[in-house]
Structure 1
């Protein structure tokens, strides 16, 4: 995405990538998931400019023609199968230099310059120098391994708290609620405006996104303060999802409502840090796929917040983040819903939540999601333990 921000830029989901000739994409059903390494090759292209109405196959677009624009490219990996690391046991490039075959390395990158001279920090490249790799390519592109730039200024966040109705807890409220993340204005600044009409007028919602969302991935976001209670109880109905964690060789034949579901505790907008994550297959389900998640500090974990009692516990984390003025008792919880590979028409999907407008400012999240909408409430440790 242009601007160095990770959000709604163009993207390719694994099952959308056409494999090289002779290779197989293991994410395309009904292909097997245990395709041999040497038959998993693919080629993806990144082109300057806006995406056309009909994008080319296997192609991402930068969204800008500027030579100075900062473009952030990210690979998203979810949970690997048991026995695999975050890369799926793919060897890192330095190991290739020690004699391992190229097909075991992470993707290699080649820069194809225009058929005309181009100015860079190293001088003018002629048409004979149109294909670059390695360090020369990185210098030409001014490539950097810097992390995602801060998307919301700390100073502005602290001022919003200072001007709020509750400097101790805002924007967290005694009756917490989850809402779909739209953009930084509506979902961050607007969280400090309780009135839905004033909120949408002052901070219009849009599909600009941020924080690694894309058209397939929706975040439901809630803000919490332990000043309202030492234990947070989150409940809802779990969507159906494919179970692949234990090395299943094929994708499930039945359609599922999501590809992936997870819940993360993290810092607030200025930090963007994540503290702890739990994902779909880890969470015990009771009748009708109902789940109960308890969030607290470790010292306040209820004795019955365990699998034996049908409960999943998650650590509250380090509060807002690591910056001066951060509150250790306030955090952000976001639930990730990734759309299903089977494109199942799930009516309760958060993808179907309409954007708040001046004509219809009231959030429709709970109405659309029905029993799948996650609810939250505060309790004391003793109150929850009495539920056993």
Structure 2
């Protein structure tokens, strides 16, 4: 997340109140090197990373680079909207270096299908090679290289895939990147032997769940108001206190909701353009940004309730959308695509900590085009409601409250 660390009195005390937890993974698509996938699709049996998107899957690797050797990933670009490889400080899960798909150069004779206009299907190979190196990232990092950010040889990497094409698995129809060790004597170790040599963790990476005493001031830092505003206050606090594995390719805004002001929160705005990769686009398109989503969460548990993403959003002919957000019992009968409206589920558990009227939204902007000036990435820090509105204009959603009956009075206008 593009968030500044926020320090405040008592931070050290609050940090002592956390309860340890663990990210649990689907026992499906993984290797001896990659643990996962961590995805919302794995619920309710499995937990998930902090505030994940329902259209993404995540894998993690934690290992040791053998002395005198180098660690290499050989992969095939997935057929998906986005992928990335990001390394993190092992101690606190903050990002060290980031390789988004368009930043990964293809192997000789291969093409990168994420480049605008590139074919996404065809006979051309789509392979790449990434080096995993110990130490801090230099001011001018080497191409296709991730750094550990540690003084020792320990390294943590996360692999993400968003919106695979229709009919493909969570990894976008390709194998997970294969790890090999290139030894000082010129030999190459692969497969399970490489995992053993790199001491690749077969356990899940631990995470932290904020304790209830620490949670109270965080919840009150951005309380729900009758007039909903978009900020980053709660996300900054959670990032400073417990959350890790931020994605530098995304920027976020949050909105706190309460059913005390109305049982239906109505979100309207202008959808930015994105590459239309679904169902199975032949070439990579262009847009204002790579990916856009709006998700509802239980703020305390950090569990995702529901998400709407760009290509799945119902809009009018000018790109404007209306989303009704409510608990199931309060869903308006006309909050359906055939009536031109979207619906997001507001968790019946509220924030997951007993505040059943609480709601929490996260707006996600990914990899905006440099020419698009209305992205969250362009909002100056610290984020304020006035500057967000000024920078984002019609792309900043407006949120109002109403009753189920009031929303149903909008009628049904088939698209």
TM tier, shorter chain?
Answer: 0.7 to 0.9
Quote the offset at 1:155 in angstroms: 3.0
Quote the offset at 1:249 in angstroms: 0.8
Match of 1:134 among 165, 185, 192: 192
- Contact map agreement 2:89 2:95 (CA 8 A) in 1: no
**SS of aligned partner of 1:241:** coil
- Alpha-carbon spacing, 1:258–1:362, altered in 2? closer, same or farther (3 Å): closer
Partners of 2:117 and 2:319 in 1: CA distance: 27
**SS of aligned partner of 2:374:** coil
Q: Does 1:378 align with 2:406?
A: no
Partners of 1:373 and 1:182 in 2: CA distance: 18
Match of 2:355 among 307, 327, 331: 327
Deviations 1:211-239 (A, max 9, x none): 6331x311121122223321111111111
> Which piece of structure 1 moves more, 369-378 or 309-318?
309-318
- Contact map agreement 2:297 2:305 (CA 8 A) in 1: yes
TM value normalised by structure 2: 0.69
Deviations 1:5-57 (A, max 9, x none): 55543111112211222222211233200034x81221111112221111111
Query: What are the equivalent positions in structure 2 for 1:149-188 lying under 5 Å apart?
Result: 149-150=207-208, 153-160=210-217, 164=220, 171-180=223-232, 184-185=236-237
Is there any run of 5+ residues in structure 1 with no aligned partner, and where? 91-104, 116-126, 190-207
Quote the offset at 1:75 in angstroms: 1.5
Partners of 2:307 and 2:274 in 1: CA distance: 17
Taking only aligned residues, the RMSD between alpha carbons, in angstroms, comes to 3.2
Match of 1:28 among 98, 115, 118: 115
**2:290 alignment partner in structure 1:** 259
**2:179 alignment partner in structure 1:** 109
Quote the offset at 1:80 in angstroms: 1.5
**2:163 alignment partner in structure 1:** 79
- Contact map agreement 2:256 2:360 (CA 8 A) in 1: yes
- Alpha-carbon spacing, 1:261–1:334, altered in 2? closer, same or farther (3 Å): same
Partners of 2:234 and 2:97 in 1: CA distance: 17
Deviations 1:140-185 (A, max 9, x none): 43524425612x62234433279x59xxxx7322322222579633
- Contact map agreement 2:232 2:254 (CA 8 A) in 1: yes
Partners of 1:295 and 1:7 in 2: CA distance: 32
**1:197 alignment partner in structure 2:** none
- Alpha-carbon spacing, 1:139–1:267, altered in 2? closer, same or farther (3 Å): farther
Partners of 1:33 and 1:161 in 2: CA distance: 44
Match of 1:14 among 85, 101, 108: 101
Quote the offset at 1:136 in angstroms: 6.0
Quote the offset at 1:332 in angstroms: 2.0
Deviations 1:287-310 (A, max 9, x none): 432111111112111011122332
**1:352 alignment partner in structure 2:** 378
- Alpha-carbon spacing, 1:327–1:212, altered in 2? closer, same or farther (3 Å): same
Partners of 1:380 and 1:350 in 2: CA distance: 30
- Alpha-carbon spacing, 1:147–1:187, altered in 2? closer, same or farther (3 Å): closer
Partners of 1:376 and 1:293 in 2: CA distance: 9
Aligned pair count reads 324
Partners of 1:237 and 1:74 in 2: CA distance: 32
Match of 1:224 among 248, 253, 257: 257
Q: Does 1:369 align with 2:392?
A: yes
**1:58 alignment partner in structure 2:** 144
**SS of aligned partner of 1:366:** helix
Instruction: Give the strand-richer structure, 1 or 2.
Output: 2
- Contact map agreement 2:231 2:385 (CA 8 A) in 1: no
Is there any run of 5+ residues in structure 2 with no aligned partner, and where? 1-87
Please identify the structure whose Cα radius of gyration is greater: 1
> Which piece of structure 1 moves more, 133-142 or 306-315?
133-142
**1:98 alignment partner in structure 2:** none
**SS of aligned partner of 2:162:** coil
Partners of 1:80 and 1:112 in 2: CA distance: 31
Match of 2:365 among 337, 357, 362: 337
- Contact map agreement 2:273 2:287 (CA 8 A) in 1: yes
- Contact map agreement 2:218 2:237 (CA 8 A) in 1: no
TM value normalised by structure 1: 0.73
